[in-house]
Amino acid sequence: MNTHFPCKRISEDGYELWLRYVPVAQPALAEYRAALTHIVIDGVSATLQAARDELVFALPCLLGASVPLADTAGRGALVAGTPHRSPLIAALDLEADLAGVGDEGYVITAVPGAEPNRIVIAANTDIGVLYGVFHFLRHLQTHQPLRGLRVVSAPKIRLRMLNHWDNLDGTVERGYAGFSLWDWHKLPDYLDPRYTDYARANASIGINAVSLTNVNANALVLTRPYLVKAAALADVFRPYGIRVFLTARFSAPIEIGGLDTADPLDPAVIAWWRAKADEIYAHIPDFGGFLVKANSEGQPGPHDYGRSHSDGANLLADALAPHGGVVIWRAFVYDENVAEDRARQAYSDLAPQDGRFRPNALLQVKNGPIDFQPREPYHPLFGAMPRTPLMLEVQITQEYLGHATHLVYLAPLFAETLDADTGCAGPGSLVAHVVDGSLDGHALSGMAGVSNIGSDRNWCGHPFAAANWYAFGRLAWDHRLSTEQIADEWLRVTFGNDERFVEPAKAMMILSREAVVNYMTPLGLHHIMARNHHYGPGPWVAGGRRDWTSVYYHQAGPDGIGFDRTASGSNAIGQYCSPFRELVADLDTCPEEYLLWFHRVAWDHTMKSGRTLWDELCLRYQHGVEMVREMQRTWDALSGYVDAARFEHVRTLLAIQEKEARWWRDACLLYFQTFSGRPLPKGVEPPEESLEYYLNLTHYYVPGIPERRFG
């Protein structure tokens, strides 16, 4: 296997991610050694070879004993395969289970009667076998018993996709873990072994699609030299069940095609995209399709020709359809020249187009209506377009959540959206059921995460940021998994199984999302970060494009603060279904975490705590800082359970996080105090610097922004 993962490690550097195969402790070890003496996998394919390689590599590391491949299954055999290729599996009575797991699921079972129990990993397809192998290895990594083992698992969502915002020059938009993994310059000839390890990591959590390039797209990626490079990556990923997508720049027919228009209804444009799709499929036979950002933040699109988003999407969908490809059209559309509240714009434009998209088109909707803030209410498009498959887009990279220096476990954020009840088709119309297609009967379904992966040795920058990649994959596979369970798993496979470590570390992870909300944007505040690079606070940002300023969103004044989205304001609330609409419309019932998102509120408004809004706001900021200090105390107490390198790395990053939490608190409170005119309440630490100081802080070369920049 083309892996760089060592069995015996000199020091921990995070490279292995959650595929860290360290010796299992007793008593699990004794059971595993007796039950797993050899591996039998019948059949020949690149995917089955990947499954074999993984087991042959992992089991000796885990068990400290050789576990060879064998042709026949004796006592202690681990048998993996499909009934079509494996007579051993065909002979077992697994038809009923396999009938329910589709073409990616698997069954793992201890076969009764064999002593010690024989373990079987069965699936209908080779990729199902590989997924089952990874699940089984996780079972061993987490020291769970084999006796009585029985797992039947299938993904709820069809496209489980990473969106890389990687540029062809090697930079990554909103990337905080170094440069792009894709070495375009050396591709297709040099295949970095990391590509294989990346594919392994993705397959191990069920991710089956990746778009390689930034949605702020460069048309060059659709030219022959880059298609050859993309094809080389697709070849590496294919055995791991991963299909490659590319971002399509809508104006590509002009930029690389020599046409003088990109009008989606122009016959020459239609012919150009058809020929382009044919060319791509000649290079990448299982090409997934296009991901498109159009008419948003300066990107070209169908509006440039007076056409609709569905016209644009259908143009590409038709080009891809003969090859079985799909177009993923982003719903992140808003226009500075439209006076309407930005939170309303995507819905206003797209909801009326429900039913107009081709069957092989998906609309990719961000979790909230603005832009990946620490907390947003769910996007009102979920529930408003039952005739269109809606993909959920979340941001794994921490553009607005402290980049790669803040420990923020994002599963609670993802789950908050998935679990939200839109009410649009009656009670229980969860976003999760819109997204998995079950609510509206769509076979096509998807969930995308904007990648936080880069060239850093540990992949994601912060040792805990890998938990967010992991959690994304696990939730896309099964959105019913609890955030606690995912954190539990990730901690065990990443650090170890000692309960004295796992329990407090898990509590720290769960706490972390609420901490960042408190020290950055409590009570429904949003989009108050520094301009452009989005590093640190910037509630004073004003001037220039209105919908990229902070003052547009918080609207603070002497009388109060918050965005009035009720019927007397922008009426963004009117885009939601009952009962959420009424719940948030009423100041008395609106959950306080969304208060300033939906309402403009007087500084002396009485909160549920009995305090004034001003005092509550101050104390929330203070509490955010204290929560980070609690995370620091928790981590410090865990030094005995973590290797020195990773312990120290996390400890240092938590110190930065605490410092930056204070920065957020002090800068925001000093600024908002200029409107509230009230003193900081008891319990809030006095600011360390003057407002003037924070206003004048300038940061150069913050990672994550290409030279050409906006908002």
Residue ranges in contact with ligand GCV by CB under 6 A = 165, 173-174, 215-216, 293, 297, 332, 371, 399, 711
Least distance CB 213 / ligand GCV (angstroms) = 11
**Minimum CB distance to ligand GCV smaller for 291 or for 420:** 291
Least distance CB 91 / ligand GCV (angstroms) = 51
Single-letter residue type at 419? D
Please give the DSSP secondary-structure letter assigned to residue 686.
P
Least distance CB 703 / ligand GCV (angstroms) = 12
Q: Verify whether residue 514 is a known catalytic residue.
A: no
CB 248 within 8 A of CB 217: yes
The DSSP code sequence of 522-560 is: GGG----BPTTT--SB-TT--SSSGGGSSHHHH--BTTE
**Minimum CB distance to ligand GCV smaller for 297 or for 658:** 297
**Angle formed at CA 692 by CA 686 and CA 694, multiple of 5 degrees:** 70
Least distance CB 163 / ligand GCV (angstroms) = 9
> Quick check: helix, strand or coil at residue 447?
strand
Name the pairing type of β-strands 118-122 and 106-111.
antiparallel
CB 181 within 8 A of CB 194: yes
Backbone angles phi, psi at 69, to 5 degrees: -75, 145
C-alpha of 424 from chain center: 25
Least distance CB 296 / ligand GCV (angstroms) = 6
CB 461 within 8 A of CB 404: yes
C-alpha of 91 from chain center: 40
Q: Verify whether residue 626 is a known catalytic residue.
A: no
Q: Tokens for 346, please give them.
A: 């995507």
Among 31, 297, 349, 514, the one annotated catalytic: 297
d(CA 588, CA 64): 61
- Nearest alpha carbon to residue 500 among 641, 635, 632: 641
The DSSP code sequence of 156-170 is: S-SEEEEE--B-TTS
Tally of CB atoms within 10 A around 30: 10
CB 596 within 8 A of CB 604: no
**Minimum CB distance to ligand GCV smaller for 143 or for 293:** 293
CB 353 within 8 A of CB 309: yes
The DSSP code sequence of 10-63 is: SS--STTTT---PPPPTTHHHHHHHH-SEEEE-S--HHHHHHHHHHHHHHHHHH
Name the pairing type of β-strands 446-450 and 390-395.
parallel
- Nearest alpha carbon to residue 705 among 297, 175, 170: 175
Least distance CB 399 / ligand GCV (angstroms) = 6
Q: Tokens for 107, please give them.
A: 């069954």
**Minimum CB distance to ligand GCV smaller for 36 or for 529:** 529
**Angle formed at CA 699 by CA 694 and CA 702, multiple of 5 degrees:** 135
Provide the edge-to-edge strand list for the sheet that holds 77-81: 38-41, 77-81, 118-122, 106-111, 150-153
Question: Which residues are CB-contacts of 26 (< 8 A; sequence separation ≥ 6)?
Answer: none
CB 362 within 8 A of CB 325: no
**Minimum CB distance to ligand GCV smaller for 160 or for 293:** 293
Least distance CB 711 / ligand GCV (angstroms) = 6
Among 399, 547, 564, 666, the one annotated catalytic: 399
**Minimum CB distance to ligand GCV smaller for 215 or for 401:** 215
Question: Does the bond joining 359 to the residue before it have cis omega, within 30 degrees of 0?
Answer: no
**Minimum CB distance to ligand GCV smaller for 296 or for 360:** 296
Please give the DSSP secondary-structure letter assigned to residue 618.
H
d(CA 267, CA 450): 34
CB 659 within 8 A of CB 625: no
Least distance CB 183 / ligand GCV (angstroms) = 21
d(CA 680, CA 682): 7
Least distance CB 550 / ligand GCV (angstroms) = 14
**Minimum CB distance to ligand GCV smaller for 362 or for 628:** 362
Least distance CB 60 / ligand GCV (angstroms) = 43
d(CA 487, CA 600): 36
d(CA 401, CA 645): 24
**Minimum CB distance to ligand GCV smaller for 83 or for 711:** 711
Backbone angles phi, psi at 134, to 5 degrees: -65, -40
**Angle formed at CA 295 by CA 291 and CA 296, multiple of 5 degrees:** 85
**Minimum CB distance to ligand GCV smaller for 5 or for 332:** 332
**Minimum CB distance to ligand GCV smaller for 216 or for 405:** 216
Among 311, 349, 371, 514, the one annotated catalytic: 371
**Minimum CB distance to ligand GCV smaller for 574 or for 711:** 711
Q: Verify whether residue 371 is a known catalytic residue.
A: yes
d(CA 513, CA 628): 10
**Minimum CB distance to ligand GCV smaller for 134 or for 372:** 372
Residues constituting the chain: 711
* Helix residue ranges, H only, 292-428: 309-320, 342-350, 411-418
Least distance CB 704 / ligand GCV (angstroms) = 8
* Helix residue ranges, H only, 80-186: 87-90, 95-99, 126-141
C-alpha of 523 from chain center: 24
Catalytic amino acids?
297, 371, 399
